[in-house]
Structure 1
């Protein structure tokens, strides 16, 4: 009986605390990104109910260096955050909030750690709200080895 109460308490606190610990958690619609898009280089364009979103970064993104993720929206979106993950590898929490730029451009100042295995492949989970619904677009990111001998 004690284990049941303890288990329910842990489950309840996890369910109750999750939105406060992870503001991007919860129900959201996953958006399809076009085949072959990457955050760096050309970026990614996503269509949503006739609204166009462009998600991009600088042409090259070296590990351990600051860069801005840019979200350009042709409509009233509310950017929430971007989280970077490395598929199949625990790289810790890499979550950054968006700040409003000018004319529908939002910036998320970001930096990514160096993976000790030498991997450079990441995924940017860009989360935003539009017309009361939460959305997420997952965009591939490929870091560049720096010229400093990485």
Structure 2
């Protein structure tokens, strides 16, 4: 699996998330902030061909100023987390 964005993730700035997962049937991405309820930020990525899935996503602003996120990617039910920070 590989994950790409078309821009550096930043709150309230839409960006395209692309996941390459050969042979996958379904890809779901969920953005969470550990210990902070940021609402439901779950996206079902759409297949774009050649094992690629993508969606246009937007992260909310955290009122406390935090910028640390975890992206959970589920490929056909197998879930993996990736920690990152926004600008």
Ranked by relative contact order (alpha carbons within 8 Å, sequence separation 6 or more), the top structure is 2
Runs of 4 or more, structure 1, over 3 Å off, are none
| Residue in structure 1 matching 2:78, options 135, 145, 150 | 135
Deviation at 1:143, TM superposition (A): 0.8
1:81 is displaced (CA, Å) by: 1.1
Post-superposition Cα deviations, 1:83-142, rounded to whole Å, max 9, x if no partner, equal: 11000101111111110113211102211001011101111110111xxxx201101121
Structure with larger Rg = 1
The answer to whether the 8 A contact 2:27-2:53 is kept is no
CA distance in 1 between partners of 2:6 and 2:26 (Å):
19
Return the TM-score normalized by structure 2: 0.90
User: Is the CA contact (8 Å cut-off) linking 2:16 and 2:57 kept in structure 1?
Assistant: yes
Change (3 A) 1:91 1:127: same
For structure 2, which runs of at least 5 residues remain unmatched after alignment? none
* Higher helix proportion (structure 1 or 2): 1
Contact 1:68 1:110 in 2 (8 A): yes
Q: Which has the higher strand share?
A: 2
Q: TM-score normalised to the size of structure 1?
A: 0.54
Equivalent runs, 1:1-150 vs 2, <5 Å: 53-73=1-21, 75-129=22-76, 134-144=77-87
